[in-house]
Amino acid sequence: MNNMKKIHLLFVCLGNICRSPMAEFVMRDLIAKAQLSDKISTASCGTSGWHDGEDMHTGTKRILQEQGIDTQGFVSSRLPENALLQYDYIAVMDDNNLRDVERRLGRNSQRIFKLTDFCEDFDFVPDPWYTGNFEECFEIIYLCCENWLSLIKKENNC
Ligand code: 4NP
């Protein structure tokens, strides 16, 4: 293992109960399986703060549990003003999230981007709060996280 500096990833959606917690826990699981938990951390938050203090949506929890992914210890929170000090990269779920995050933190395309930038077939992660489709959401998030982690591993020789 090389001596890379720990990388802190933040996933952001609107409510921080459906998509971004799913991404946080999927990526954390992939990182653990790659034995990189001491090198890469994951967290998530929402642009709205509407669900601050709540657990993740039952639909998100169910699909994570079906996949054997841990769901414990989650508490919904709002995007902090100093997120760029705490996190190296911020991956958002759709264009509205991107606009809202950029409004609060400023534009920074090297560090703030859409999660779907890591796959060719999707332009955003549809919101299951409105679609009810947590399976579709999981598939897109899983694919993007796998691709992003591969890239991080390549860039850091780990
Ligand atoms: P999320 O989904 O942004 O993926 O967590 C939503 C959750 C809650 C609401 C909207 C979207 N809401 O209107 O409360």
Please tell me the total count of domains within the chain.
1
The SS3 assignment for 13 reads: strand
Residue nearest atom 13 in ligand 1 by C-alpha distance: 15
For residue 121, is it within any domain? yes
- Find the domain containing 127 and state its range: 7-155
For residue 87, is it within any domain? yes
For residue 2, is it within any domain? no
For residue 1, is it within any domain? no
For β-strands 7-13 and 40-46, DSSP reports them as parallel
Length of the chain: 158
Alpha-carbon distance of 94 to 14, in angstroms, equals 9
pTM here?
Answer: 0.98
78 is catalytic: no
For residue 104, is it within any domain? yes
CA 48 to each of CA 31, 51, 127, 147, 149: distance values in angstroms, whole numbers, following the listed order: 28, 8, 14, 28, 27
Residue-level pLDDT, tens digit, the chain, 158 residues: 567 899 999 999 999 999 999 999 999 999 999 999 999 999 999 999 999 999 999 999 999 999 999 999 999 999 999 999 999 999 999 999 999 999 999 999 999 999 999 999 999 999 999 999 999 999 999 999 999 999 999 999 99
Which CATH number is 107's domain given? 3.40.50.2300
Catalytic residue among 127, 137, 144, 145, which?
127
For residue 98, is it within any domain? yes
Mutate to test the pocket of ligand 1, among 11, 12, 13, 14 (most ligand atoms within 8 A of CB): 14
Residue nearest atom 12 in ligand 1 by C-alpha distance: 15
Report residue 81 as tokens.
């003003």
